Structure 1
Amino acid sequence: MAHLDTRRHPLVGLAVFAAAVAAVAVIGSLAAVSSSAEYEQLRTPSWAPPSWLFGPVWTALYVMIALSGWLFWKRNGTGPELALYAVQLVLNAAWTPLFFAAGRYGWALVDIVALLVVIIALVVAFGRKHRPAALLLVPYLAWVGFATALNASILSLN
């Protein structure tokens, strides 16, 4: 059986990145939906966005995350930068079940702070070799920074 070189078939590579990010999105969606009633009961800061905003924001961010990884890979292949990319996906996937499904706001805060640090490292690493791929992650970095402050505030209020 012939080996499929995904770099020669970039759409296959795009499908792989899209599938990986979609898996993270599904994990988050299932955890959030199963616990939406509990979230509505939490004390939140006055600056917390309405619940309906999270879905559209995360959808746009997940598209940018997948495109970023794919563009970087298409130009540079695999390497330590994509290991960081994988770590941020794992941390991202872990946060929603920790926060929503388990109600572990403290552990969720630890996770999201680690995620924030990894995203910063990833933006820097991608920026050294593929600036557009790095720039696609900047809205994600900003949103996770905001979500970190929101998580900390919810932990403090509850």
Structure 2
Amino acid sequence: MSIRPATLAWTAAAATATAVAGSIATDPSSRWYRSLRKPAWQPPSAAFPVVWTTLYADLAAASAAALGGLEEQSRAAERRRYRRALAANLVLNAGWSWLFFRSRRPWVAAAECAVLAASSADLVRRTAKVSPHAGAALAPYALWCGFATVLTTAIARLNSRR
């Protein structure tokens, strides 16, 4: 299975656009965010950009491999469904930052993050059907989205009276 440069460029551009959209909304230095109670097990703020950058690169590469495999196997309809699932996942991903940091609605962000985690697990499943190696490489993305759901829910719970 080969990764076509044009496909990788598309998935990389989509992941980059998601990262930029999320970054625009994210402000861990805001007075509101700093005033929130957070669980003791929350990673330091500096960890998030490093983790997300790595996961976005992984997502771009694994998705390009899956899309390339579907194209090589002449599975055009499945390829279109994969692209739609990936696009929906990226919208959910960027949307979390807007719901949490800009709208300041941790419970809504936690619910949306649960949908993101399910979408991410679905992308892993879709990817693994085409390329087990690419599916395994994408699994950390789904796991991190699950972790983000648990973390967001914990923050919402700790700050429920706000």
Same fold (TM over 0.5): yes
Q: 1:36 aligns with which of 26, 29, 32?
A: 29
- Deviation of 1:107 (Å): 1.2
Alignment CA distance shift 1:9-1:51 (3 Å): closer
CA distance in 1, matches of 2:133, 2:86: 15
Identical aligned pairs, as a percentage? 37
CA distance in 2, matches of 1:116, 1:141: 6
CA distance in 2, matches of 1:10, 1:120: 24
Q: How does 1:108-127 map to 2 (within 5 A)?
A: 108-127=109-128
- Deviation of 1:82 (Å): 2.5
Q: Deviations over 1:52-81 (max 9, x none)?
A: 110100000000011111111111132322
Amino acid across the alignment from 1:113: A
Q: Deviations over 1:79-137 (max 9, x none)?
A: 32232222111111111111111111111111110011111122112211211221121
Structure 2 equivalent of residue 92 of structure 1: 93
**Contact (CA 8 Å) 2:39, 2:154: kept in 1 or not?**
yes
Structure 1 equivalent of residue 74 of structure 2: none
Alignment CA distance shift 1:43-1:91 (3 Å): same
RMSD: 1.7
Alignment CA distance shift 1:65-1:9 (3 Å): closer
User: Unpaired runs of 5+ in structure 1?
Assistant: 1-7
Alignment CA distance shift 1:14-1:135 (3 Å): same
Structure 1 equivalent of residue 15 of structure 2: 21
Alignment CA distance shift 1:81-1:42 (3 Å): same
User: Unpaired runs of 5+ in structure 2?
Assistant: 72-78
- Deviation of 1:9 (Å): 9.0
